[in-house]
Amino acid sequence: MEILEKVQNYLSPLLGANTARIAVKTFSERLGKKPETLTRQDLPVLAQSMHGMLKTLCGAEKADKAIKDIAAL
């Protein structure tokens, strides 16, 4: 499974499929990468950059867990 798909699948139940797709696109573009070119090495940085968004939408506890999980996908 592609990295992009894995991250989207992780975020979908939380944010909804549409937001998950938009979130991965928005934050990977901020890292200067197209979502489909994401690699496993990008995940810790990508996860960290999503922390603020996840904290705001889901609370700190859930956000902390999510970034650890995403970094380890």
Site for other proteins, rule CB under 8 A: 12-20, 22-23, 26-27, 30, 52-53, 55-62
For residue 33, the minimal CB distance to other proteins (Å) is 16
Task: Report the distance separating Cα 60 and Cα 18, nearest Å.
Answer: 22
CB of 19 to other proteins, least distance (A): 5
Question: Where do we find the tokens 């699948």?
Answer: 9
- Minimum distance between the CB of residue 17 and other proteins, rounded to whole angstroms? 5
- The Cα 53–Cα 57 span in angstroms is 6
